[in-house]
Structure 1
Amino acid sequence: MKHFLQQGFSLIEVMVVVAIIGLLASIAVPGYQDYVRSGNAAEAPANLANCRVQAEQFYQDNFTYVGFACNPTDARFFDYTIDNQTATSYTLIATGRAAQNMGNFSFTVNQDNAKTSTYDGTTGATCWLTSASGSC
């Protein structure tokens, strides 16, 4: 009786390894994507807070908000606009760029520091959400 030495892996062994890797990837990839979006979403509150300080400085210098512009130089994931701009009021808006996979995100703040947000589809009526769980 001859004994043959086994070299390499059988097809079944390779298929089991591929199945395990696929299962692990199906769990890890969505978590990683959420982590990346969370990091990208931090841009908007930081820039809106900075723009709000600039708006108040503009008001102190000019006694009006008319003419103030919010143009963050590091805007990569959001577009920034000003709505309802009058002599005594404004609303700063950061809208996520769909091309950057941030289309479900938006943040606002007004002259009274009233904040609202939509964080990946979850709405925060009185704050800037920092996670999809709805916590501020």
Structure 2
Amino acid sequence: MNARGFSHIELVIVMAIVGILSAVAIPSYRDYIARSQLIEATNALADTRVRMEQFYGDNRTYTNGGGCGAAMPALERFTLTCAIANAGQGYTLTATGSGPMAGFVYTVNQANVRQTVSWGANWGSVPSIGATRWLIKKE
């Protein structure tokens, strides 16, 4: 009699291999997805900074009297805020993550100093290099 199919041991071995591969692949995939969503914040900060500089070029101030000279765009995963400093001669733009991007905070100011203030909980603490640039992947 010829038995066809897989034995119980063979199935258990295959399941163990799939489990090990999943344990490695799923966290990497989640980090990949998070990195792709961080671009929303950095792009919005860069674009808004350009619009703030255009406003300053026209008005010699970054404020329109009641807030920032440039309108803050509506983002899906981040909230963009603006803080005016030095009597309208300076500002700091901040992108704060929400939902799955909670914990991520990026800033840029009128001198184009970019900072990664904080990361999501799964990413650990921000390396010291984050004080001078936007980090969008684990260093």
Q: Which bin holds the TM-score, normalised by the shorter protein?
A: 0.7 to 0.9
Match of 1:122 in 2: 126
Unmatched tracts of structure 1, length 5 or more = none
Residue 88 (structure 2) pairs with residue 84 (structure 1): no
Query: What is the total number of aligned residue pairs between the two structures?
Result: 127
Is the contact made by 1:116 and 1:127 (CA closer than 8 Å) also made in structure 2?
Answer: yes
In the superposition, the TM-score normalised over structure 2's length comes to 0.81
Say yes or no: does 1:37 pair with 2:43. Answer: no
Name the CA distance, whole Å, in 2 between partners of 1:122 and 1:32: 20
CA contact (8 A) 1:70 1:81 kept: no
Does structure 1 retain, via aligned residues, the 8 Å contact 2:63–2:84?
A: no
Unaligned runs of 5+ in 2: none
Q: Kindly report the root-mean-square deviation, in angstroms, between the aligned alpha carbons of the 2 structures.
A: 1.7
**Amino acid across the alignment from 1:130:** I
Q: Which stretches of structure 1, 4 residues or more, deviate above 4 A after TM superposition?
A: none
Residue 131 in 1 paired to residue 137 in 2? yes
Q: Tell me how far apart the structure 1 counterparts of residues 55 and 84 of structure 2 sit (CA, whole Å).
A: 16
Shift of 1:95: 0.8
Decide whether the 8 Å contact of 1:70 with 1:80 is kept in 2: no
Aligned residue runs from structure 1 range 89-108, under 5 A: 89-97=90-98, 99=99, 101-108=100-107
Deviation of 1:63 (Å): 2.2
* Alpha-carbon spacing, 1:70–1:94, altered in 2? closer, same or farther (3 Å): farther
Q: Residue 32 of structure 1: CA displacement? A: 0.9
Deviation at 1:90, TM superposition (A): 0.8
Q: Percent identity?
A: 40
The 2-side partners of 1:70 and 1:59 are apart by 13
Q: 1:50 aligns with which of 37, 47, 51?
A: 47
Query: Which residue type is aligned with residue 82 of structure 2?
Result: I
Higher-Rg member (1/2): 1
Offset at residue 128 of structure 1 (A): 1.3
Q: Which has the higher helix share?
A: 2
TM-score (norm 1): 0.83
Q: Is contact 1:80-1:94 (8 Å) kept? A: yes
The one-letter amino acid paired with 1:103 is A
Amino acid at match of 2:46: A
